[in-house]
Amino acid sequence: MNKSYKIGVIKGDGIGPEIIDEAIKVLDAVSVALNFNLKYQEMLLGGSAIDETGVPLPEETIQGVKKCDSVLFGAIGGPKWDTLERHLRPESGLLGLRKEMGTFANLRPATVYDELINASTLKASVIKGVDIMVVRELTGGIYFGQPRELLAESAYNTMVYTKEEVQRIAKVAFDIAMQREKRICSVDKANVLEVSQFWREIVEEMAVEYPEVELTHMYVDNAAMQLIRDPKQFDVILTGNIFGDILSDAASMLSGSIGLLPSASTGKGVGLFEPIHGSAPDIAGQGIANPLATISSASMMLRYALGEDAAANKIDEAIKKALQDGYRTGDIGDFDAKEIVSCSQMGDIIADYASR
């Protein structure tokens, strides 16, 4: 009997429906080629949920995602809903969903395609061959530390990590490293922060369970510099919430276009896979959005949530072939383009390659 997976689909707002449709097109092609089944259940989140139900995160969506094997998400938000109270805005719905799903690990790959090497602001010799995975702790650290207070003459936040929080994010990073080049650089500020000293000790304890993985440490200020100076030295970067927030954004720009970059939020249960870009309401409905980040997010879903590595590989190779053959959406059309294609056409091309 063929394997079957239930995928929650949240198209969202703006270009969300367009890019999700193309990802599903590619998923359908590769699932047929490799003989497994995908069943989709659409759910509401964000502005579209507000318009239909009055809230950004309906209870039906909360319960629905918990019954899925994974969730594929487009994008939310737009000026239409910016005047609402903060707890009723689309972004509050996404934060609430992540909390309900227990997604404590944010995975952000930064891959430089040879065909788009001139899209980056860095020299080709520096970025050629870059393939980095940033593993960022998502629900702890200074953003969530208690106590916190804003006073008239001062303000403070506390950076707190528990042993369990460090252990579980470290395990995610080591497991991913085992699927890659078996190298982890743990980034902290252990020379001045006790919480980073604690972080480093726990990560080193975890490393004992993964003798095949080479573990190194780097201070965050040096890591920021090294990402620009010599990004190819990194395979997996493991780090906390605030450092990961900064470093993943820096790493994402090595590729040259935000329209290329996928991400995953995983943790205790069902994972959420999404492009890192926003809903781009200014181009919604024009058919010019770049679906590659969402298609790559679908590949990450197959690899990290469903264990369908062969299918993920087929999608990754299909994207590379489409770029090699000169197909470009408008946002990357200035770089060795043979043909500028629409959002839907790019989906058709990649689905065709992935089906072979």
**Nearest-angstrom CA–CA distance, 202 and 112:** 32
* H helices present in the chain, as ranges: 16-34, 47-53, 59-65, 90-101, 124-127, 163-178, 194-207, 220-229, 241-252, 292-304, 309-324, 343-354
Greatest alpha-carbon span in the chain: 67
238, 166 Cβ separation under 8 angstroms: no
Which residues are annotated as catalytic? 143, 189, 221, 245, 249
Half-sphere exposure in the Cβ direction for 276 (13 Å, CA) = 21
Q: What is the DSSP letter of 341?
A: -
Q: 264 has which bridge partners?
A: 107, 273
φ, ψ dihedrals at 206, nearest 5°: -65, -35
277, 77 Cβ separation under 8 angstroms: no
Which of helix, strand or coil describes residue 275? strand
44, 64 Cβ separation under 8 angstroms: no
Beta strands 105-111 and 131-137 are antiparallel
Q: Which candidate, 14, 44, 23, 12, places its Cα nearest to that of 350?
A: 23
Alpha carbon of 22 to those of 6, 221, 337: distances in Å?
18, 39, 20
**Nearest-angstrom CA–CA distance, 110 and 135:** 11
DSSP per position, 84-119: S-GGGSHHHHHHHHHHHHT--EEEEEEE--GGGGGG
Q: What are the tokens at 342?
A: 């629409």
Q: Which candidate, 104, 109, 154, 157, places its Cα nearest to that of 261?
A: 109
